Structure 1
Amino acid sequence: MVVVGAALAVGGFGLVGLLGASIEEGIEASANTQLADIASLAGAGQLPTRLAGSRGDTFAEVLDSSGGVVVASASLADPAQLSRVHPSLDGAVIPRLTSTSTPAEGDLYQRDGDDGPYLVVSRTVVAPTHGVLQKGPLTVYVAASLRPEGVTTGTVALALACGLPVLVIMVGALVWVLSGRALRPVEAIRAEVADISGRDLHRRVSEPLAGDEVASLARTMNAMLDRLESSASHQRRFVADASHELRSPLTVLQATLEVALTHPKDCAWDAVAGDALEEARRLQRLVEDLLVLARADEGTEAPRSQVVDLDEMILKEAGRLRPRSRVSLDLHRVSGGRVRGNPEQLSRVVQNLLDNAERHADSSVTVELSTSGRQVVLVVADDGPGIPVAYREQVFERFARLDEARSQHEGGTGLGLAIVKQIVEIHGGTIEVASSATGAKLVIGLPCLDGGDTSAGGAGVDGLPFSP
């Protein structure tokens, strides 16, 4: 409101200034008009014996070259010169307007007085020598009071000085009431959101019926609460599943050791050690997977700008899998493919895909690598039971298992494909479960380094299928 008051004050002062200038301009124009009329009469030799003022505060006189008064306004008490004006009851001016200097032709100057200041204009004309006029040039004077300007501007300034504070107070009160009414729904939304805690994220703020900005704000807040609730629910489910998965190998390990210690003489310690080692490895894999997902969620492992040859990476992971694989690996359709990214993360993608396919395949796993347009396409397919259409999105969720008992028995943690999806998306790629006549078929697309387009189905690595 201080700014509004200052703006109104500046505007008021500007208005008073413009009003005064306009009034003064009008008075000057009126005095010049009267001066032109009298000068025209003097030049034609038709001056009357007395001059009548156009208004009660405008006076005129005509002087000859010797300074004598030829004619003056009828209302002047002393026709020798312009007198200081003091209006009587009938509007006549009696006291004289004294002057210390005579204005030059065409000059304008102001004289201060009790009813002044006065605006005095003059003009010299050459008059004829006949009639009542004397020989020589004549000087015409017209004096107009500027008192109306002072009175008018003073009145307006006083009105503004008294009215502006009242106006500012009224505007302030109106703005306070209107803003309070307009912000009341916003305050209600704020209070509701502030009252929502982590335990009741299911609550939502009330949405106004009007489709204005406040309703848009309420919808935005509810959408944010939806995301928070979904994230919190996902986090709670993830923690519960992780706790359960961590407890399972620990329980098995603890039970195996307790049984062995209960009957130490009858125990086959080699078998106990083997079982304990297997559970420890399972626990290690689970912890490593959880660590990978945690780092991916935090964004602490952004892909490095490094060229990666996926075909070499596939060959390396296939060599790792060969000694323990129970199925054959077909690499005939693996051709060159180069991408840019984090080699450790991309190696984890290939490893998880091959492990998943080998775990569910009946007899063979097929790997394809090709460049299509601006993408490097990696396809891993197996001849196992496949993935039903209804579960093609679910398999990428964390701790997702279509066959709970089988997956746990075969060593799966339920995090492999979730990690693959996370890493692929970090690298700007896509992953999906494609339709296949037999088994499961996972297709990954990653941005190609060269942006080229080479034909798929090139010569396989070493020209031969890879089999155990």
Structure 2
Amino acid sequence: MPVRIGSVRARTTVAATAVVAVALVVAGLAVVLLLRASLDRQSDLQSEVSAREVASQLAAGVPATRLDLPDSEEHPVQVVDSSGRVVAAGEDLSAISGSAAAEQDDDAPKRGMVSDDVGHSTGSATVDGETAGYRFASLQVTTPRGETLTVNAGTDLATAREAVGTVTKAMLAGLPLLLAVVAGVTWLVTRRALRPVAAIRTELAEITASSDLTRRVPVPSSRDEVAGLARTTNETLAALERSVERQRGFVADASHELRNPIAALRTELEVAAAHPELLDLDGLTEEVVRLQRLAADLLLLARLDAGERGVTPKPIVLAGLLREEAGRRRAADRFPIGIEVEAGPLVLGSRDRLARALGNLLDNAQRHASSEVNITLREENDRWAVMDITDDGPGVPPDDRERIFERFVRLDDARSRDDGGAGLGLAIARELLGVEGGTLTVEAAPRGGAIFRIRLPLHTVRVGDHGRA
């Protein structure tokens, strides 16, 4: 497979390699500096030991001309007096530069004593005609005769510098190889980690091409983010499949519901055209009105499915809305509507949507009631406005208490379409209340019948409206 510079695998490999390279360079510098400092301390110690050995001889009264001096090539030693004159030097040692003699304390030690203060510096010495770098230790000593001398002793830095150079070269030689290993391992690990992602992408592409929403992407056995992505993708595909099936069912049911009134209307018009004396204007008007209402319901559901909101919520006094909707039905009520208001809750939402939902529920209750319909309005836990719409009809079987809120569902298949409607009223009511943040459920009434319970979140301000209508 060709390597793409912008791919996740390539970017991950480059980033990992760069991070490791920076870390190795920093770690290498730290190691080299620590090694160099350690070797310098060791050289300082060796130089100081050599200087103290010579100073101890001077403090003991050994003349400068009879000093036992170490090998000049490894530890060049030079003894100078207070005026800077060389009074003793190692064999074949011709010059020392860069020693710390000038930095010594002006307070000379007592007679026969060696100073505790030691100065360290890096300089050079010429031994047998060859100049090399050395690490010097300088200290003062006072002879028993009262003469103060300075002893400069050095340690060859060639070995230390060679060790530092060897380590540095080894690191520089191993760095590219180590980076190559890191890059290769990162590339392989990333490829293995992204293999499930490639499988998910391939399966999604095939699902898109085939439009087969029953298929699912493979879920890897690992419990990582890729497995979570696969599960979420399958959940999304399942939700999409349900949505598509719902839309197909909706279109099929809508076509069926529209076909019947249109066919009936066409039949009546054809009969009227052949026999004008049989024209039933009232029947035609009723069919047109029912067809108009069905089309309006279908359009409303389509807007809700599309996620349409588009209404600025406003405070609504539920008691006033309830009485208003009940008052619209009193003239043509099949049964009276009793209203009991135990509280005056205020909710935030769309008055038209809430009125439509309440109207659908009142129509449903009056359609199924035997003798009465009652409405109770109250508050619950200072959080909810609760409205119960109760009828004394046959009730709703427990197994059907969720199914009745589906679209085009009519439990009583034997009743006429005119009496039963298209089976959209309860579905519209629940979806409208859901848009407003509320819920709609159905329960069995204590004395028989059904209770449709609306819960809406309370607004922060409440209006006192107690009493019974």
Partner of 2:19: 3
Partner of 2:262: 250
In the TM superposition, what are the counterparts of 1:165-180 in structure 2 within 5 Å?
A: 165-180=176-191
Q: 10, 14, 17: which is aligned to 2:33?
A: 17
The letter of the residue matching 2:35 is: L
Could you say if the C-alpha distance between residues 336 and 217 of structure 1 is closer, same or farther in structure 2, counting changes exceeding 3 Å? closer
The letter of the residue matching 2:152 is: Y
1:347 deviates by 0.8
Partner of 2:14: none
Looking at structure 2, the residues matched to 234 and 242 of structure 1 have their Cα atoms a distance apart, in angstroms, of 12
Residues 372 and 454, structure 1, Cα contact 8 Å, conserved in 2: no
Looking at structure 2, the residues matched to 18 and 338 of structure 1 have their Cα atoms a distance apart, in angstroms, of 76
Could you say if the C-alpha distance between residues 97 and 450 of structure 1 is closer, same or farther in structure 2, counting changes exceeding 3 Å? closer
Correspondence 1:320 to 2:331: no
Looking at structure 2, the residues matched to 234 and 300 of structure 1 have their Cα atoms a distance apart, in angstroms, of 18
Could you say if the C-alpha distance between residues 24 and 303 of structure 1 is closer, same or farther in structure 2, counting changes exceeding 3 Å? same
Correspondence 1:153 to 2:161: no
1:395 deviates by 0.8
Question: What CA deviation, in whole Å up to 9, does each residue of 1:204-244 have, x standing for no partner?
Answer: 22333444444333333222222222222222212221222
1:328 deviates by 2.4
Residues 337 and 374, structure 2, Cα contact 8 Å, conserved in 1: yes
1:372 deviates by 3.4
Looking at structure 1, the residues matched to 264 and 381 of structure 2 have their Cα atoms a distance apart, in angstroms, of 50
The letter of the residue matching 2:189 is: L
Q: 254, 259, 265: which is aligned to 2:271?
A: 259
1:433 deviates by 0.9
Could you say if the C-alpha distance between residues 127 and 248 of structure 1 is closer, same or farther in structure 2, counting changes exceeding 3 Å? same
1:196 partner SS: helix
Residues 5 and 168, structure 1, Cα contact 8 Å, conserved in 2: yes
Moved more, 5-14 or 99-108: 99-108
Residues 385 and 456, structure 2, Cα contact 8 Å, conserved in 1: yes
Q: 301, 309, 313: which is aligned to 1:301?
A: 309
Correspondence 1:447 to 2:457: yes
1:345 partner SS: helix
2:355 partner SS: helix
Looking at structure 2, the residues matched to 45 and 225 of structure 1 have their Cα atoms a distance apart, in angstroms, of 100
The letter of the residue matching 1:104 is: A
Partner of 1:235: 247
1:69 deviates by 5.2
1:400 deviates by 1.5
In the TM superposition, what are the counterparts of 1:412-431 in structure 2 within 5 Å?
A: 412-431=421-440
Partner of 1:395: 404
Partner of 1:90: none
Correspondence 1:280 to 2:288: yes
Could you say if the C-alpha distance between residues 373 and 139 of structure 1 is closer, same or farther in structure 2, counting changes exceeding 3 Å? closer
Looking at structure 1, the residues matched to 421 and 71 of structure 2 have their Cα atoms a distance apart, in angstroms, of 113
Residues 51 and 60, structure 1, Cα contact 8 Å, conserved in 2: no
In the TM superposition, what are the counterparts of 1:309-458 in structure 2 within 5 Å?
A: 309-331=317-339, 336-374=344-382, 375-406=384-415, 408-410=417-419, 412-436=421-445, 437-449=447-459
Looking at structure 1, the residues matched to 263 and 321 of structure 2 have their Cα atoms a distance apart, in angstroms, of 37
Correspondence 1:58 to 2:75: yes
Question: What CA deviation, in whole Å up to 9, does each residue of 1:231-290 have, x standing for no partner?
Answer: 2222221222122222222222222212322x144x433x1x322222221122122222
The letter of the residue matching 2:431 is: Q
Moved more, 159-168 or 143-152: 143-152
Looking at structure 2, the residues matched to 444 and 387 of structure 1 have their Cα atoms a distance apart, in angstroms, of 16
1:167 deviates by 1.0
In the TM superposition, what are the counterparts of 1:449-468 in structure 2 within 5 Å?
A: 449=459, 459-461=467-469
Could you say if the C-alpha distance between residues 72 and 249 of structure 1 is closer, same or farther in structure 2, counting changes exceeding 3 Å? same
1:58 partner SS: coil
1:59 deviates by 1.5
1:384 partner SS: coil
The letter of the residue matching 1:439 is: G
Question: What CA deviation, in whole Å up to 9, does each residue of 1:61-118 have, x standing for no partner?
Answer: 3234576655443xx22xxxxx3xxxxxxxxxxxx44549984153544335765222
1:335 deviates by 6.1
Q: 214, 228, 251: which is aligned to 1:202?
A: 214
In the TM superposition, what are the counterparts of 1:61-140 in structure 2 within 5 Å?
A: 61-64=78-81, 70-73=87-90, 76-77=91-92, 83=93, 96-97=94-95, 99=97, 103-106=101-104, 108-112=120-124, 116-129=132-145, 136-140=147-151
Could you say if the C-alpha distance between residues 333 and 117 of structure 1 is closer, same or farther in structure 2, counting changes exceeding 3 Å? closer
CA RMSD for the aligned pairs? 3.0
Could you say if the C-alpha distance between residues 407 and 191 of structure 1 is closer, same or farther in structure 2, counting changes exceeding 3 Å? farther
* Unaligned residue ranges in structure 2 (runs of 5+): 1-16, 105-118
The letter of the residue matching 1:327 is: F
Identity of aligned residues (%): 39
Q: Please, what TM-score do these two structures have when normalized by structure 2?
A: 0.82
Residues 336 and 370, structure 1, Cα contact 8 Å, conserved in 2: yes
Partner of 1:289: 297
Partner of 1:186: 197
Looking at structure 2, the residues matched to 344 and 18 of structure 1 have their Cα atoms a distance apart, in angstroms, of 80
Count of paired positions: 431
The letter of the residue matching 1:149 is: A
Residues 97 and 124, structure 2, Cα contact 8 Å, conserved in 1: no
The letter of the residue matching 2:249 is: R
